[in-house]
Amino acid sequence: MIKIDEPYSLRLGSSTGISPYKVKVERRLSDLSGYFLDKMLVQEMLSMGENPVIYEVYELPQPPVSGMLNVGSTVIYPGKIGDEYYFTKGHFHEKESTSEVYIGLEGEGLILIQDRRGEITSLEIGPDVLVYIPPDTAHRSVNTGSRRLVFFAAYPSDAGHDYESIERTGFAKVVVERDGKPVVENNPSFHE
């Protein structure tokens, strides 16, 4: 049993990205129905009983105390809704001064990092790639490959998650397949 007031070690890799973990969160298409561009296709799939797992998060959370770190891993499955690649919901941190670090374990993808004005940076992530996400930016991960995208994450345990801002405005860019390759394009549904 891992105790928060003592040192601990985890294993990276395996089907969950980290082990052991304490919390598993599963996000299905129904959880992201308002996020994808082709909302009609999403509704059609859901009405036909199709509700694939888009991604899973495995965490070893700590109490929300300054100085503590949460660690976890995210597994994004390969797939698309229309031309748009599977992605995570994306969020800002409630505590705007907090940052985050991702380390790629397997697969390939992009991390979209967006400031409050809607300016976007996209960075590649894959095995042995570290991505730094600065304070006061939203971040979304996108699987652009044909197999699982798995990465490790570490962030302050008191950071909190603000999903509502992104749910309200969307991301300024989307990642879609064009001529067999991922392309970052303007999101026609984005609004400030």
Say what the pLDDT of residue 71 is. Answer: 96
Assigned domain for 26 exists: yes
Assigned domain for 58 exists: yes
Residue type, 136: D
What phi and psi, each to the nearest 5 degrees, are found at residue 39? -65, -30
Say what the pLDDT of residue 63 is. Answer: 87
Say what the pLDDT of residue 191 is. Answer: 79
Say what the pLDDT of residue 6 is. Answer: 74
What is the span of the domain harbouring residue 110?
A: 11-186
Say what the pLDDT of residue 2 is. Answer: 59
Residue type, 1: M
CB 174 within 8 A of CB 37: yes
Q: Write down how long the chain is.
A: 192
User: Residue 133 sits in a domain of what CATH number?
Assistant: 2.60.120.10
- Return the C-alpha torsion angle 184, 186, 163, 112, nearest 10: 30
- Number of structural domains in the chain: 1
Assigned domain for 87 exists: yes
Assigned domain for 49 exists: yes
Assigned domain for 1 exists: no
Assigned domain for 5 exists: no
Assigned domain for 3 exists: no
Residues in the chain where the model's pLDDT stays below 70 = 1-5, 192
Most distant pair of Cα atoms in the chain: their distance: 52
Say what the pLDDT of residue 186 is. Answer: 95
Instruction: From residue 6, give the alpha-carbon distance in Å to each of 17, 58, 62, 139.
Output: 22, 20, 12, 30
pTM: 0.95
Assigned domain for 37 exists: yes
